[in-house]
Amino acid sequence: MSRVLILDGYTDEPAGFGVPPYIDVYPRYIAGALWLVDPGIVVHYVTVDEARRDLEGFLERANSYDLVVFIAGAIVPGKYIGGEPIRLEELKSWPAMLERPFKVLVGPAARWGIGNEGGSIAVLPREVKSSFDAVVTGDVEAYFYEAARHGVEHAEEWRVLDDLELTGKAAVKGARIVRQHPNHGYNLIAEIETYRGCARWITGGCSFCATRLYGRPRQRTPLSVVREVEALYLEGVRHFRIGRQADIIVYGSRELGEEEWPKPEPEMLRRLFHGLRMVAPGLETLHIDNVNPGTLVRHREESVEALKTIIKYHTPGDVAALGIETADPRVVKINNLKTMPDESLEAVRLVNRVGNKPSPLGLPELLPGINFVLGLPGETSETYRLNLEFLERIYEEGLLVRRINVRKVLVLPGTRLVKEKVLERLRRHERLAKIFRREVMRYSRMFLERLLPRGSILCCVYVEKYSESLGVTFARQAGSYPVVVELPCKLPRRMLKRVFIYDVSARSVRGLPLPLNANTTPLTLLSRVLGRTLALRIAGSRPLKTEEELQKILGEKGGESLVSLNGFSCK
């Protein structure tokens, strides 16, 4: 085995994300495990979007390799701007067209299967499985390390590591694969893993979640994680999310793996985040993801200290995703969820109390995100009313929520839901679910209006794509669950230092890049930023020849930072 091609079909799972601008751990671990054994192995990386743009060329190229790895599995799917995960029909047909290479499937699709819709049981279709020579259901770094040492015919597909020492070594060695990602040098975000599994595996965890199926949690040392980030930083990565774990604030806890509700040890978080800042002094993004609301309310003092530690070292605009799932006490109990509604509300209050502080980025330091899961056992029409009542309580208290996510439950093999009639329940509540989603959209807009009222300025926003049909450029900051900004003009791919927000919708805000070009920007757009009176004065004086002329019109009302003769042309 001398030539290996990795096709990244993107991943989205409860603890881990790999849709651009994110790169998940899989390609880095795979490449690193191979290079640990033989640095001379040629490993190339390509995304599924790149392959789609020239499928014939991709297949011809792939046939020249000894081994082709497919990474796949979006088991908590959403709507994506940065890329589209590999589709089931592609996963069936593409590997079948490859004759020469040994073909391996890894990721959530290999481990849990594929679900076509919420409520269905995730399985790996026979047509997919038969197209591959190996389907890795264990730890990918273990499989490829053994494949490189002894050959693919001797590598165990189901092997699980006792500890994560090999993981740390592979992560460092494989860091240079990021240079082949299309977002490298721009807004590429590296997903970082600190531990594997969930503390609540002791009691079976949440009924629907696959994370507890990893077994007893296995932790990496702070030094291991810091060395990985250092390696990625040296390869040009400037954005990081410590997101691939069930609950970041219990990282390093001596009780993790021994207690269902381990006590946070803020000193371990301090060692980790301080170390990250030391080895990556010029990083631009350092965010987190999952925080267990049950930890927050059961270990309040330690949790507050842990959140304060994160805020000391992270970058602003961060989100603590709280897996609340439901506000129905009956559903909580039946599904062994984390918190009762009053506890969930207290968790939202706590994150607001610690994290709702202004920052130069235009967003607070740290805000909570909320997840709702539909179709769980015990759900009734009353569940939907209680969920909306919960959102109303949050809003009426004047609290902030960065985002509200709603999804239908996907039944994963090994979870309790396999024996449940989930699809039947979802169909029975289909009308209620539509109403609920509509109301959630209304609340999402209300929270966004509270978070980013007209006139707000967002800083460091990256242009991602332009829609010809809509005439809109989509842009976002780098980080966890960034706000989507819609700009009514075509802009090149670049980072916008400042964006003026003039309107909001349920899922996005509408803005204009600053400064605007005073001579070319239409009156309607100038009016949104400067007000109609001042915009009319500028439009009536066009073409302005000098900045002094413009400044004379602006006068004491200011606005020189909002418009310029060398600013952006939005037409």
SS3 state of residue 400: coil
Last residue of a domain, one of 423, 451, 479: 451
What CATH number corresponds to the domain at position 282?
3.80.30.20
- Does residue 260 share a domain with residue 179? no
Q: Per the domain annotation, does 290 fall within a domain?
A: yes
pLDDT at 488: 94
- Does residue 107 share a domain with residue 174? yes
DSSP string, 179-223: GGSTTTTTT-EEE--SEES-GGGGGT-STT-SGGGG-S-EE--HH
Q: What is the maximum alpha-carbon separation in the chain?
A: 77
Looking from the CA of 141 toward its CB, the CA atoms found within 13 Å total: 22
Q: CB burial class (10 A; 0-12, 13-18, 19+) of residue 56?
A: exposed
Q: Per the domain annotation, does 570 fall within a domain?
A: no
Q: Per the domain annotation, does 368 fall within a domain?
A: yes
Q: Are 73 and 108 in contact (CB under 8 A)?
A: yes
Last residue of a domain, one of 451, 466, 493: 451
pLDDT at 220: 97
Rounded distance between C-alpha atoms, residue 566 and residue 552, angstroms: 17
Q: Per the domain annotation, does 245 fall within a domain?
A: yes
Amino acid (1-letter code) at residue 294: G
pLDDT at 88: 92
Check residue 137 and give left, alpha or beta (phi > 0: left; psi -120 to 50: alpha). alpha
Return the DSSP state at 77.
-
Pairing label, strands 484-487, 516-517: unpaired
Rounded distance between C-alpha atoms, residue 275 and residue 78, angstroms: 33
Q: Per the domain annotation, does 569 fall within a domain?
A: no
pTM attached to this predicted model: 0.96
Amino acid (1-letter code) at residue 258: E
- Does residue 111 share a domain with residue 167? yes
- Does residue 200 share a domain with residue 184? no
Q: Look up tokens 């990556």; give the residue.
A: 280
Q: Which domain holds residue 260?
A: 192-220+229-451
Q: Per the domain annotation, does 97 fall within a domain?
A: yes
- Does residue 180 share a domain with residue 320? no
Q: Per the domain annotation, does 431 fall within a domain?
A: yes
Q: Look up tokens 């509200």; give the residue.
A: 404
| Structure-block tokens of residue 189 | 């975000």
Rounded distance between C-alpha atoms, residue 365 and residue 353, angstroms: 11
- For residue 47, give Cα distances in angstroms to 42, 44, 55: 17, 10, 12
pLDDT at 555: 82
- Does residue 167 share a domain with residue 104? yes
pLDDT at 263: 98
Contacts of 103 (CB under 8 A, 6+ apart): 67, 68, 70, 95, 131, 132, 133, 134
Q: Per the domain annotation, does 256 fall within a domain?
A: yes
- Does residue 432 share a domain with residue 291? yes
Last residue of a domain, one of 189, 212, 244: 189
What CATH number corresponds to the domain at position 119?
3.40.50
Rounded distance between C-alpha atoms, residue 105 and residue 135, angstroms: 5
- Does residue 368 share a domain with residue 294? yes
- Does residue 461 share a domain with residue 446? no
- Does residue 216 share a domain with residue 84? no
Q: Look up tokens 């109609």; give the residue.
A: 532
- Does residue 414 share a domain with residue 323? yes
Pairing label, strands 563-564, 516-517: parallel
Structural domain total, the chain: 3
Q: Are 174 and 44 in contact (CB under 8 A)?
A: no
- Does residue 349 share a domain with residue 202? yes
- Tens digit of each residue's pLDDT, the chain (571 residues): 799 999 999 999 888 999 999 999 999 999 999 999 999 999 999 999 999 999 999 999 999 999 999 999 987 767 899 999 999 999 999 999 999 999 999 999 999 888 765 556 778 889 999 999 999 999 999 999 999 999 999 999 999 999 999 999 999 999 999 999 999 999 999 999 999 999 999 999 999 888 888 889 999 999 999 999 999 999 999 999 999 999 999 999 999 999 999 999 999 999 999 999 999 999 999 999 999 999 999 999 999 999 999 999 999 999 999 999 999 999 999 999 999 999 999 999 999 999 999 999 999 999 999 999 999 999 999 999 999 999 999 999 999 999 999 999 888 888 888 778 888 898 999 999 999 999 999 999 999 999 999 999 999 999 999 999 999 999 999 999 999 999 999 999 999 999 999 999 988 999 999 999 999 999 999 999 999 999 999 999 999 999 999 999 888 656 668 999 999 988 7
| Structure-block tokens of residue 411 | 């039944």
pLDDT at 556: 60
SS3 state of residue 358: coil
What residues pair up with 286 in beta bridges, in sequence order?
240
